Amino acid sequence: MKILVSDSLSKQGVEVLEKAGFTVVVKTKLPKEELLKEIKDADGLIVRSGTKVTAEVIAAASQLKVVGRAGSGLDNVDTPAATRRGIVVMNTPGGNTVTTAEHTMAMIFSMSRRIPQATASTKAGKWEKEKFMGVELYNKVLGIVGVGQIGGYLTKLAQGVGMQVMAYDPYLAPERAEKMGVTIVELDELFRRADVISVHTPLTPETKALINAQAIAKMKTGVMIANCARGGIVHEGDLCEALKSKKVAAAAFDVFEDEPVKPDNPLLALDNFICSPHIGASTTEAQENVAIGIAEQIVEYFTKGIARGAVNIPSVSPELLPKLQPYLSLGERVGLLQAQLLEGGLERLTVEYSGEVAGLNVAPLTIAVLKGLLTPILEDPVNYVNAPVVAKERGIEVKEVKISDAGDFASVIRVRVEAGKKSHQVAGTLYHRKDPRIIEIDQFKVEVVPDNHLLLIQNEDRPGVIGTVGHILGDHNINIARMQCSREERGGKALQIFGLDAPLPKSVLDQITNSKHILSVKVADLSKGL
């Protein structure tokens, strides 16, 4: 059994593989041609962030069964291509939590006391005590955008030095926030009140340029901003102008929109901007943890058939997986849709299985629903192993219900979520036991293919509303792939659902929202489901 290690890996991880009897080939920084040659007879591949596991690489791997990422990020792995080939993709979620949070805290300390600038000055032979007046962090307000694992651990660190922590996280249950000692606020309030702001969200269309000129204008003069999450969450051009005007006193980046960062990036010329080359996860302990972790997961997979840490399949037996796979895809997509319809902190989740599916082992299906539900709202990767743990940590109550009769369908998976006094219900089924369909959205009966981008519009049941929406989309050259309507009763509320090939620009969304007889407008990205 050959395991190719194509990026630098702690020796402890290599030793785990060798002790298990595997042939370990360590060849790092391979040119593409050599990688394509070396991967041909490999049974397993271990990478970090350097190797690009593209569809071409996967196609060249005739024996490859598993790709293991020593770390959490999978931006360099074409997971859909691997899935189509039946290749398991796994990572080590949580291995970088502590070290990334610590790096963020170090950046905050460095900004507050101007440590990098003072170091450079002193090494240059100067003694500029008056120039490097700092500020205390004690009793200052830290605003955290996104309270996943990293944001949660950063909370502990900040509270340890006497900082007050407020957070914006629409999916954090109030009970969980209370236990953490975190004040939940709206984003605008966080911008207004925070002395230091740190972002810990995934990079999505919603979070791209989340901190921009408009957001900065709402902040205190003298605010400090840290980004050790994903490049692009903070608009670099707008931040640069704010640093020049001293509206923002200091900023610290470990990540950039384009990496490696270009030498002519204007941020690099500013004295009140500090940065590091994406090293948030780069500690000896973290690298040992992820190396040993991925090695042990690879060994378990080949020796016991257990796919711990898998991001594209659950940990189920090979015999059961083919029967469960269509339901896994359905459950994840129902959860993914629910996450994007939900407003407020998720408190309770009920997954109801009706018909044939109720006779199966539904535990992996519930995990698939959780994975879909949590993926859009967390910075940290969510997979079939950590989804239940993440849900528990966030105080989400999960309940399973089995019903023998599915009515007009062979099987139905119905997902109910509760957030405060609000609740939402989405149900799905399989056509021909393989093709997923959404058949209920709250009180509306529908028939929706859950893929690509959906535009969901609630409106008054009045003549001309559909035409208005179609006209707006047409004027902006937006193609409608699919469309259907549903209503409660004549003259009541109606639901329009449009399947689109691409995300909807905000300007178009606003135009639809402000149209006559429109009650609500939501968009959902289902392009990243199973």
What is the structure's pLDDT at 315?
Answer: 59
What is the structure's pLDDT at 513?
Answer: 94
- CATH code of 495's domain: 3.30.70.260
Confidence of residue 314 (pLDDT cuts 50, 70, 90): low
Fill in the DSSP letter of residue 376: G
**Do 141 and 285 fall within a single domain?**
no
**Do 262 and 287 fall within a single domain?**
no
**Do 300 and 197 fall within a single domain?**
no
| Distance of alpha carbon 294 from alpha carbon 71, whole angstroms | 8
**Do 152 and 83 fall within a single domain?**
no
What's at 112, amino acid-wise? S
Over residues 452-458, mean pLDDT: 94
Over residues 333-337, mean pLDDT: 93
Query: 178, 259, 285, 343: which is the annotated catalytic residue?
Result: 259
- CATH code of 339's domain: 3.30.1330.90
Last residue of a domain, one of 220, 248, 275: 275
Query: 113, 278, 416, 487: which is the annotated catalytic residue?
Result: 278
* 15 classed as catalytic: no
* 296 classed as catalytic: no
Residue 184: closest CA among 192, 220, 175, 200 = 175
* 278 classed as catalytic: yes
The total number of structural domains that make up the chain: 4
Query: 48, 176, 200, 230: which is the annotated catalytic residue?
Result: 230
**Do 492 and 525 fall within a single domain?**
yes
What is the structure's pLDDT at 318?
Answer: 57
**Do 260 and 328 fall within a single domain?**
no
| Distance of alpha carbon 30 from alpha carbon 387, whole angstroms | 34
- CATH code of 48's domain: 3.40.50.720
Sheet holding 480-487, edge to edge: 480-487, 493-500, 453-460, 518-525
Range of the domain at 328: 317-442
Q: Which of the pair, 317 or 322, is modelled with greater confidence?
A: 322
β-sheet bridge partners, residue 310: 90
Angle value at C-alpha 8, between 203 and 233, nearest 5 degrees: 10
Over residues 376-390, mean pLDDT: 74
| Distance of alpha carbon 392 from alpha carbon 395, whole angstroms | 5
Fill in the DSSP letter of residue 65: -
**Do 390 and 410 fall within a single domain?**
yes
**Do 366 and 387 fall within a single domain?**
yes
**Do 91 and 103 fall within a single domain?**
no
Over residues 502-523, mean pLDDT: 93
- Asked whether 383 and 93 are in contact (CB, 8 A), the reply is yes
Contacts by 302-305, CB closer than 8 A, 24 or more apart: 302/1, 302/20, 302/22, 302/43, 302/44, 302/65, 302/66, 303/20
Last residue of a domain, one of 418, 442, 466: 442
**Is the pLDDT score of 381 beyond 80?**
no
**Do 362 and 459 fall within a single domain?**
no
- The pLDDT tens digits for 263-272 are 999 999 999 9
Q: Which residues have C-beta within 8 Å of that of residue 86, sequence separation ≥ 6?
A: 65
What is the structure's pLDDT at 438?
Answer: 95
**Do 129 and 249 fall within a single domain?**
yes
- Among 97-111, 300-314, 331-345, 424-438, name the one with the lowest average pLDDT: 300-314
What is the structure's pLDDT at 426?
Answer: 95
- The pLDDT tens digits for 39-56 are 999 999 999 888 999 999
Angle value at C-alpha 199, between 171 and 207, nearest 5 degrees: 65
Q: Which of the pair, 85 or 399, is modelled with greater confidence?
A: 399
**Do 44 and 151 fall within a single domain?**
no
What is the structure's pLDDT at 74?
Answer: 80
What is the structure's pLDDT at 36?
Answer: 96
Q: Which of the pair, 433 or 479, is modelled with greater confidence?
A: 479
